[in-house]
Amino acid sequence: MLDTVDKLIDELVDGGSNFAASLGISRVAGQLYILLFLSEKPLSLDEMMEKLKISKGYVSINIRALERWQAVRKVWVKGSRKDYYEANLDTISIVVNQLEYGLRQRFEGLDLIINRAKGKIGQMKNTQSKEQIQNLEDKIKKAEKMYNRVSGLLGKLDLLKLLK
């Protein structure tokens, strides 16, 4: 009877971490985050490993990933030498930050590829068939247009504000 709450928490941790996993976040990191999100008080590595039944080293690795994303923070608990963590409850900001960062990374990569291709096509003009070159030029132009549209949007759109 006493563990009814614990059971519900288990369920939520499970359900929510599936969601996290479907967003491409490590499943265990998702579980840890939700565990901390739901917890009344900060938790130590030992408590987390106990609740999720995973090894301490694995908790350590994942909690540091969460820290890097500012999804959790270490808190001081007087009288204890352990590290305690609590969740940053502003989940949306965390997710949006991650998304924005990821998108930016990817788009920078594309930029390089497209420009490199344009250069190469320029150099090729007299060595290849006219149709081939024309086709490639068209396609690259199309790709570039898409790139510009999306990255222009990304630059302006402060997703965070939309959601707050």
For binding to DNA (CB under 7 A), which residues are involved?
26-28, 44-46, 53-58, 60-61, 63-64, 80-83
Point out which span in 2-10, 45-53, 59-67, 73-81 binds a second copy (CB under 8 A): 2-10
Distances (CA, A) of 101 to 57, 98, 113: 27, 5, 19
Q: 159 near 98, Cβ under 8 Å?
A: no
- Which lies closer to DNA via its Cβ, residue 28 or residue 36? 28
Comparison of 74 and 106: residue with beta carbon closer to a second copy: 106
Which residue from 112, 103, 122 is spatially nearest to 144, judged by alpha carbons? 112
C-alpha 68/C-alpha 149 separation (Å) is 31
- Partner whose footprint covers residue 61, from DNA, a second copy, none (CB < 5 to 8 Å by kind): DNA
**Interacting partner of 57 out of a second copy, DNA, none (Cβ under 5 to 8 A depending on kind):** DNA
Helix (H, G, I), strand (E, B) or coil at 105: helix
> Which of 53, 127, 130, 161 touches a second copy (CB under 8 A)?
127
The CA dihedral of 34, 35, 37, 41, to the nearest 10 degrees, is: -170
Out of 50, 146, 155, 158, the residue judged to bind a second copy by CB under 8 A: 146
